Structures are given as structure tokens and as C-alpha cells.
């Protein structure tokens, strides 16, 4: 295992590449599904934003109960902003008028 001038190892670069591919490929697929107005993407986005909201609420609950490592002010702000954005996405995709009609099934 080689180490460069910054102390990084080759394994770090390989893991970082896999993380970028693991995040980038699904993002491109979901973006393409949005462009095609594929009907299942609506439900995928609703599930993903709901899952993210539930994870944020679990982190906040565990922190409030008494975690050994409390969240800093910046982390709390990030969690709040992330929760608000995901709540807006969830509510828009689930309840906004016209969204369900835009993502209707096509029978072709």
C-alpha cells in the first residue's frame, strides 16, 4: 500500500471512487426517470425523502435522550435544513395538485 505526500493511501482513493459511483449512478438514473416522467419515480422519491426524514428524527431523538457525543450547532442546523427540504419534497410529491397526473402510467 503506497502513501502519497498528503498521507492518503490507495485504498482511500478506491473507496472514495466507489462512494461517488454509489451516489452518482442512482442520481443519474433517478434524474433520467424524472425527465421521462416515469410514474414510479414519484413513489421512489416519496419513499427516499420519508426514509431520510425518519433517520433525521431518530438522530435527533437519540441525541435528546442523552447521547455521549452531543450535536454541535452546525450539525443541528444542517439536520434542520435537511429535514425541512425533505419534508417539502415529500409533501410536494405526495399532495401537490397536478403532480399525480403528471406522473400517470402510460400504456404504450
Closest CA to 92 of 33, 39, 49: 49
CA distance 50 to 83: 10
Tell me: the pLDDT tens digits for 19-69? 888 888 888 888 888 888 888 888 888 888 898 899 889 888 888 887 677
DSSP code at position 36:
T
Cβ partners under 8 Å of residue 38, min gap 6? 103
Domain residue ranges of the chain, discontinuous segments joined by + = 1-36, 37-108
For cell 444542517, name the residue.
Answer: 78
Residue-averaged pLDDT of the chain: 82
Q: Looking at the whole model, is its pTM more than 0.85?
A: no
- Using a 10 angstrom Cβ sphere, with 0-12 exposed, 13-18 middle and 19 or more buried, the burial of residue 23 is exposed
Amino acid at each position: 500500500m503506497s502513501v502519497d505526500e498528503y498521507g492518503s493511501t490507495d485504498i482511500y482513493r478506491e473507496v472514495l471512487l466507489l462512494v461517488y459511483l454509489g451516489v452518482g449512478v442512482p442520481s443519474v438514473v433517478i434524474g433520467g426517470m424524472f425527465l421521462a416522467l416515469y410514474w414510479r419515480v414519484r413513489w421512489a422519491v416519496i419513499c427516499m425523502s420519508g426514509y431520510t426524514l425518519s433517520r433525521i428524527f431518530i438522530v435527533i431523538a437519540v441525541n435528546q435522550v442523552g447521547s455521549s457525543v452531543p450535536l454541535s450547532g452546525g450539525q443541528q442546523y444542517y439536520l434542520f435544513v435537511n429535514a425541512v427540504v425533505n419534508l417539502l419534497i415529500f409533501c410536494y410529491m405526495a399532495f401537490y395538485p397536478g403532480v399525480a397526473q403528471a406522473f400517470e402510467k402510460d400504456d404504450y
